[in-house]
Structure 1
Amino acid sequence: MRQHGTRLNPTARFLIFFIFSFLFILILDSFSTFAAQCADIRENVLRLHILANSDSVEDQELKLRVRDRILQETDSLFYLSDSLETAEEKAQESLPRIEEIARDELLKWGCNDEVQAELTHMFFDTRVYEDFTMPAGYYDAVRVTIGDAKGHNWWCVLYPALCVPAASEDGEAALARTLTEGEREIVESKPEYEVRFYAVELFERVKDFFK
């Protein structure tokens, strides 16, 4: 004897469709808001990106020495900046000085690799730095390349001044001057617990691919 499964009546089917549609809209709206806040973060941040010559122990140590020297001798440029525009103007004017500092530090350790510093607009993956996270996408950045620039990189945030030694305020206070409360919550969250970070990174990578 053939048994037929229970068939939902039209009213029940409509109710289920309505519930799933409503949930989908909520999820889409939440992601759209999150993505928009991530875009605002990217538009208000200046990053520092240093690429080592190679992944050898020596080259990686040199990269960190160059990093420390650059941050030490240019800290006031970015800590005293009151806007991204001002920070970028100071960065552009200081590129020759940044190159000079990096070369001098390398020569001090017996390395004559070439150094190039530029202000650029470049793609970053989702990155975690100490107590804050930067969502994936394109950022303005001071990019310093050493030699062949084929080694692992180091990055931080120059504006707001989150990695500047002279900053007397903590990172939370620096963020508060620049980002909204919602944007600060994103930056201060942990991406391993935040699925939307991965969704934004995937979305930005697709955009970058077609670009």
Structure 2
Amino acid sequence: MNFKVLFYLLFFVFILVMNWESQNYMAAASFHDEVSQDEAIRLRILANSDSIKDQILKRDIRDEVNATITDWVLHIDSMDEAKDVIEANLDEIEAIVADKLAKSGINQSFNVEFNRVQFPTKLYGHLVYPAGEYNAVLITLGNGNGENWWCVLFPPLCFLDFANGDAVEHDERNSGVEAAEAETETEGQEVEVKFFVIEIFDTVKGWFTA
């Protein structure tokens, strides 16, 4: 067996596999457009707890706050104008939260603010909103220890999350699950590539031993 020839063949196969992986990555990346953190206004609502009652309250507030702010910004094209409108009407958002609490018979503190808020990565179709700080309406209900809900208020994209049945929840607890799923997917891809290389190696080896 000519091990030198075998070495060059395996090296050539390795280059082909790496090039194939690189092309796949570049193709996937070119399909998505990344949105700047300064081109969006987002909404984040922190529930008091994960109890059914607190989560229902969070969703009720979510629905009305989103509908109200969407009416404000639907026909606005300027990011600065949308920001000014939302900041100027925070008291109306506070009134919505207070009204929902009263109707639910829940004696709970809350806080509404417009600030720079941390968000995880989110994909809407071909638009990627990378993880980072965004201008956002942050509503904290009670202790703010429950699962939170978030979406994009400007340009209005919250309806995409509603269409999916609910927003993607994200906090320290479920982010670990998401990371584990992503890690499992990556490991699965690596295993597939490794098996692919091994199969080619066995094929080439068979040629030399035949």
TM-score exceeds 0.5: yes
Count of residues in correspondence between the two structures: 162
Measured after TM superposition, the shift of residue 50 of structure 1 is: 1.0
Task: Pick one of 124, 127, 138 that aligns with 2:132.
Answer: 138
Please say if residues 76 and 82 of structure 2, whose CA atoms lie closer than 8 Å, have aligned partners that are also in contact. Answer: yes
1:7 partnered with 2:4: yes
- Which of 152, 160, 166 is the matching residue for 1:157? 152
Residue 49 of structure 1 aligns to which amino acid in structure 2?
A: R
Is the contact made by 1:43 and 1:139 (CA closer than 8 Å) also made in structure 2? Answer: no
Shift in Å, 1:97: 2.4
- Quick one: which of 79, 91, 95 aligns to 1:100? 95
Contact 2:41 2:83 in 1 (8 A): yes
CA distance in 1, matches of 2:129, 2:96: 30
Q: Deviations over 1:51-105 (max 9, x none)?
A: 1111111111111121222234333212122132222222222223212221122
Candidates 63, 68, 71, aligned match of 2:63: 68
Percent identity among equivalent residues? Answer: 29
* 1:124 counterpart residue number: 120
Measured at CA, do residues 15 and 72 of structure 1 come closer, stay the same or move farther in structure 2, by a change above 3 Å?
closer
3-state SS, counterpart of residue 71 of structure 1: helix
Counterpart of 1:77, as a letter, is W
Distance 1:56 1:133 in 2: 33
Structure 2: state its 5+ residue gaps: 161-181, 187-210
- Tell me by how many angstroms 1:16 deviates: 5.3
Larger Rg: 2
Q: Which has the higher helix share?
A: 2
| Partner in structure 1 of residue 86 of structure 2 | 91
Q: In terms of mean alpha carbon deviation, does 5-14 or 107-116 score higher?
A: 5-14
What is the root-mean-square deviation in Å for CA atoms of aligned residues?
Answer: 3.6
TM-score, structure 1 as length reference: 0.59
CA distance in structure 2 between the partners assigned to 1:62 and 1:11 by the alignment: 65
The reply on whether 1:45 has 2:34 as its aligned counterpart is: no
C-alpha separation between the residues in 1 aligned to 2:70 and 2:138?
16
Deviation at 1:125, TM superposition (A): 4.2
Query: Contact between 1:123 and 1:138, CA under 8 Å: does it hold in 2?
Result: yes
Who is 2:164 aligned against? none
**Alpha-carbon distance change, 25 to 64 in structure 1, aligned in 2, over 3 angstroms:** closer
C-alpha deviation, 1:110, in angstroms: 1.4
